[in-house]
Amino acid sequence: MKLLTRSRLPRVDEPIEVKALVLDWAGTTVDFGSLAPARTLERVFAAKGVRVTDAEIRAYMGLPKHVQIARILALPRVKAAWREAHARAPGDRDVDDVYENFVPLQTECLREYSRVLPGVPEAVERFRGRGLKIGTSTGYPREMTDLILAWARKEGYSPDSSVTPGEVGWGRPQPFMIYENAVRLGVYPMAAIVKVGDTLADVQEGLNAGCWSVGVAATGNLVGLSEQEFGALPPADKQERLRSARAELARAGAHFVVDYVAELDAVLDEIDRCLKAGEANEAAV
């Protein structure tokens, strides 16, 4: 497994090994293609008379949902469409209104899309066999995360810690959900934590926390297809989508990129090798 970038590697002051993972939810461990938030936002904006594209929605995926809605409304094309539909530019009250409509519809969509991804329960058990603790961070609020936690538990995936933006006052790309996971899991230093997620905001969250940051390509936001849609692609199209997603995650600063969480084992081996060899220190100075 190749280390993609040596910029912003975690600082290591003594030989350590990886102690914990902080995993994203939609597009990483559940909801192949991160479809639930994308489909919900399409419907919510359509109900307001404004069409938003999949690309416009996915550009801000991984951020807290209220922030994501505000960013979408600030896009020039969307702002113009809103003005045409409502005879005025969107404001803060419109962000709040769209979010209030988003919450109940998203809860319905979660039931349809939030299946645990193939191989995740088995992979998490392997990670625990290495002595790792499992935390999570998300762009979802607590009430939605609790629903996903309950459904995931029935399918064999139950993390040790779950943190949402509202519990720390900030969402991605700020690092505070990872810090809170570190507190709850009792894990330090930050260089012993690996953040794993499918969005650019996930990657930045890990970097800002001083963690190792690993991007997930195939199941996530940057490919943006269901498992069935992805599997039905011609081989050349599938490889092109993967190549593009991997490249975007690498450009965002991911130290490693995998296609699926179940492929993390080799990355963890390589991170442990780097930590023991002191390579993180050498790159950071």
pLDDT tens readout for residues 51-95: 999 999 998 888 888 899 999 999 999 999 999 999 999 999 999
Tell which of 113, 139, 156 closes a domain. 113
Same domain, 177 and 58: no
Q: In this structure, is residue 9 part of a structural domain?
A: no
Q: Does residue 163 share a domain with residue 101?
A: no
* Number of separate domains in the chain: 2
Q: Are residues 58 and 46 in the same domain?
A: yes
Q: Which positions are annotated as active-site residues?
A: 24, 65
Averages of pLDDT over each 10 residues, the chain, 285 residues? 73 83 97 92 93 92 89 95 93 93 85 91 98 96 93 97 96 96 97 97 97 97 95 97 97 97 97 86 41
One domain, residues 219 and 99: no
Q: Global pTM?
A: 0.87
Q: Which helix (H) or strand (E) holds 133?
A: strand 133-136
Q: How far apart are CA 93 and CA 208, in angstroms?
A: 31
- Please report the pLDDT score of residue 280 as a whole number: 65
Residue 248: per-residue pLDDT: 96
Q: Is residue 173 part of a domain?
A: yes
Query: What pLDDT score was predicted for residue 201?
Result: 95
Q: pLDDT digits over 258-270, tens only?
A: 999 999 999 999 9
Verify that 103 and 145 share a domain, yes or no: no
